[in-house]
Chain A
Amino acid sequence: MLAALLIVFREVFEAGLIVGIVMAVTAGVPGRTLWVTGGVAAGVLGAGVVALFTGALSELFGGNGQEIFNASILAFAVVMLTWHNVWMARHGREMAAELHAAGEAVVEGSKSLAALGAVVAVAVLREGSEVVLFLYGVAAAQGGASFAMVIGGFVGLFLGALVCLATYLGLVSIPQRYLFGVTSALIALLAAGMAAQAIAFLEQANILTALDQTVWNTSWLISDSSFLGRGLHTLIGYVDQPTAMQLIVYAATLAVMIVLMKLFGSPPERPRIAAAE
């Protein structure tokens, strides 16, 4: 029971952090519940499909199927997060100023919601497929799902959902004028971390071999396998032994996002108005 509880909690916790952030980012946007719930549902469905085909997936691309699949969906999530942040840099303040009733902004807003819904789906799919594989594996090894395992799984799911709720409540308690900046920064770090993780999968598949030496080792401080390490890994892409290429891609993702947000962001008079208040 404890093993099932821990594994389910661990994975739901990781997905829950991302779902919590997305819910805080989209707080007050009409139609967001539908998109977030839809993202979770699509992710759960996808997790089942991926778990079912993990064996077959592994054998694709000369045994590198898992790596290429993971790198691809992570890259997709990075693009969605970047797109969302750039869009928010342009329209976010208007929406915060309750101009979102304007028809065009709502239509555009739902596109941004779709991007975040896709990110939720990817997060749930990645963590969920591990849960499905693990629980199915335990059940198969025992010759059936035991009562203890089911209870453990549900307690893990419940605790993980609490993390999601705590993330959401923590973020929305931030005063409105800071919330936009905080969530933009969180989304940017999330994207950079996912990009670095995609690089790790490409390195593992031997597709990317340049600059793959380990730059530092902070496992003595925060280990990748600790809960703190896992949380930081999800939130900011922390790894205790990053490669040079991972660090470069991490920094490049942040730089590209900042440049795009500046290029396409709202005209600079808005902050001045805010400062004058």
Chain B
Amino acid sequence: MIAVEHSVPRTAGSGIAVALLVGVALALVPRAVAAEDTVTLSLTIKDHKFDPAELHAPANTPIDIKIKNAGDIVMEFESSDLHFEKIVPVGREGVVHVRPQQPGRYNFFDDFHHETQGYLIVP
């Protein structure tokens, strides 16, 4: 009796869940296609230097920048030009999402140590 009571709403529930999933998947299609173009760049910070200190990315393309803190002190990965600020503790990795950019030279830095500077170059 209890099993039947359970199974009925479960079937109905899973039907709704499938419908929802399909709906969500359909809604996400344009975004998923857009995400495929995203360029992922990686850099490391160590001894107050970005490696590489210059990143290159194509114009008009969304960019993800992966930053790994291989130094011995916490850093705040920040850019006014590219609109991000993220604290990356020692030994951790962070990702910032950057919207598609026009050609230009964009600065980023460690907000805790301003001598640590880097650039994103979009030709």
| B-binding residues in A (CB < 8 A) | 3, 7, 54-55, 58, 63, 66-67, 130, 133-134, 136-138, 140-141, 200, 203-206, 209, 212-214, 219, 223-225, 239-241, 243
**CB of B56 closer than 8 Å to a CB of A:** no
Q: Bound state CA distance, A206 and B76, in angstroms?
A: 19
**Of B81, B89, B96, which one neighbours A55 at CB under 8 angstroms?**
B89
Q: Bound state CA distance, A130 and B87, in angstroms?
A: 9
Question: Are B80's CB and A240's CB within 8 A?
Answer: yes
List chain A residues, Cβ under 8 A from B95: 63
List chain A residues, Cβ under 8 A from B72: 140-141
**CB of B10 closer than 8 Å to a CB of A:** no
Q: Bound state CA distance, A136 and B90, in angstroms?
A: 11
Question: Are B76's CB and A130's CB within 8 A?
Answer: yes
Closest 5 CB pairs of A and B: A137-B74, A224-B80, A206-B97, A137-B73, A141-B73
Interface range on chain B: under 10, 10 to 19, 20 to 34, or 35 or more? 20 to 34
**CB of B49 closer than 8 Å to a CB of A:** no
Question: Are B73's CB and A54's CB within 8 A?
Answer: no
Question: Are B97's CB and A204's CB within 8 A?
Answer: yes
Q: Bound state CA distance, A141 and B83, in angstroms?
A: 29
Question: Are A58's CB and B88's CB within 8 A?
Answer: yes
Q: B79 → chain A, closest Cβ, in Å? A: 10
Chain B window 104-123, contacts with chain A (Cβ cutoff 8 Å), 1 for yes, 0 for no: 00000101111000000000
**Of B86, B90, B109, which one neighbours A66 at CB under 8 angstroms?**
B86
Question: Are A137's CB and B88's CB within 8 A?
Answer: no
List chain B residues, Cβ under 8 A from A134: 74, 112
Q: Bound state CA distance, A31 and B83, in angstroms?
A: 41
Q: B77 → chain A, closest Cβ, in Å? A: 11
Q: Bound state CA distance, A209 and B31, in angstroms?
A: 11
**CB of B103 closer than 8 Å to a CB of A:** no
Q: Bound state CA distance, A203 and B96, in angstroms?
A: 10
**CB of B94 closer than 8 Å to a CB of A:** yes
Q: A117 → chain B, closest Cβ, in Å? A: 26
Q: Bound state CA distance, A239 and B78, in angstroms?
A: 13
Q: Bound state CA distance, A63 and B80, in angstroms?
A: 20
**Of A55, A66, A223, A243, which one neighbours B83 at CB under 8 angstroms?**
A243
List chain A residues, Cβ under 8 A from B73: 137-138, 140-141
Q: Bound state CA distance, A78 and B76, in angstroms?
A: 25
